[in-house]
Amino acid sequence: MQLTTDHWQYLHNPPVATGILKQHAADFRVTEELGYTLTGEGEHIFVEIEKTNLNTAFVAEALARFCQLPLRQVTYAGRKDKYAVTRQWFGIHVPGKSDYPWQEFALEGAAVLQTKRHNKKLRTGQLKGNLFEITLREVSNPDAVISKLEQAAITGVPNYYGSQRFGIQRIQENGEINRGGNLVMAERMLNGEVIKNRNKRSMALSALRSWLFNEMLSERIEQKRLFTILPGDVINLTGSNSIFVADDDVAALSSRLARQDLSTTIPLWGKGETGSTGQANQLEMALAADYAPVKTFLAGQKLTMERRAAIIWPQQLECHQQGDTLIVRFFLPSGCFATTVLRECLNTTELA
């Protein structure tokens, strides 16, 4: 079974405009927003770091070495792009320890911006979201791209997992896609190969689960049901992890969806029930029917069935044009991909 990615549906017509993404690391900036105030006391030191051309796990390992702690005592809310300039928080569990000489932390491409104590552990997904500042160069039709971005802020875009999850990069200027290493590893696992490296195995599992989510999301778009709330649909309240099941009176919910208050969802496959009922469950079972080997494998990997919003709306959108260069800023909730928003607006060639 080959796990391909180039057939996923667009919400509207595929974009025609082209542009270059990540010509320089500073062309892709990400800043985490925790969404809560640190207490200033407690067993955990939160460290905000700006990193350039470094992956999150590598920085976490460097922090563990500097603090002389096991790696499990260094946590983060989520992985950030390697080929970028990103600001993110790391949590370090050090009960009883006063502090560290952070001015002595030396890692090329990384700098400590601030530190503060907190009384709770920094867990995966525990942040409000990310603010993106993206520079697109050699844009063929800036006005068309701006128009599509403005449309995305109003109507939303499919909440696909981005290419980073699959290890895919556009490595040639003609836009030809190189298949992602994480998906190749996932295929090998499906075929019975045992991947012993824990980190690689985790990345392959994540890629496989995300691929199935994208497949089912694409199918729902193709059926023109992304914005249609069915009785029994699992609904997500925008900007939160709260979900509930829609009853038979979907008119009020549909109005709230139009106001960006809530979204339909798609299963993140694992062990257990999808949570949907009735008509919505019938639709999801039909969408998932062709993926029996993937579903069975994921359910056997100690993954619990979860849900993910099917629609996202870029917030705080700003677009600034300088000739054929566009500087775009917007905010997305935790776990959402800026490249997913860009995908609806232009075809990018990634040079990083």
> What are the Cα distances from residue 208, in Å, to 38, 300, 340?
35, 13, 18
Nearest by Cα to 56 from 177, 181, 199: 199
CATH class of the domain comprising 36-126 = alpha beta
Phi, psi angles (nearest 5°) of residue 23 = -65, -35
What pLDDT is attached to residue 178? 59
What pLDDT is attached to residue 179? 60
What pLDDT is attached to residue 2? 83
Query: DSSP secondary-structure letter at 224?
Result: T
Query: DSSP secondary-structure letter at 107?
Result: B
- Any idea where the domains of the chain sit in the sequence? 36-126, 153-312
- For the entire predicted model, the pTM comes to 0.92
What pLDDT is attached to residue 239? 85
Radius of gyration of the chain (CA): 21
What pLDDT is attached to residue 175? 52
Q: What number of CA atoms fall less than 13 Å from residue 103's CA on the CB side? A: 0
| Residues whose CB is less than 8 angstroms from the CB of residue 148 and which lie 6 or more positions away in sequence, other chains included | 12, 15, 17, 344, 345, 346
What pLDDT is attached to residue 180? 66
pLDDT, tens only, 74-129: 999 999 999 999 999 999 999 887 789 999 999 999 999 999 999 999 999 899 99
Spans of the chain, pLDDT less than 50: 171-172
Are the C-beta atoms of residues 312 and 332 closer than 8 Å to each other?
yes
Can you point out the beta strands (E) in the chain? 18-21, 28-33, 44-52, 74-76, 85-93, 110-118, 129-137, 157-158, 169-170, 177-178, 234-237, 243-245, 262-268, 306-309, 311-312, 315-322, 325-333, 347-350
CATH of 153-312, one of 3.30.2340.10, 1.10.1740.10, 1.10.10.10, 3.40.50.150: 3.30.2340.10
DSSP string covering 163-204:
HHHHT-EE-STT-PEEPPHHHHHHHHHHTT-----HHHHHHH
Tell me the two tokens of residue 266: 């798609």
Point out the residues that are catalytic: 81
Are the C-beta atoms of residues 314 and 341 closer than 8 Å to each other?
yes
Nearest by Cα to 330 from 341, 345, 346: 341
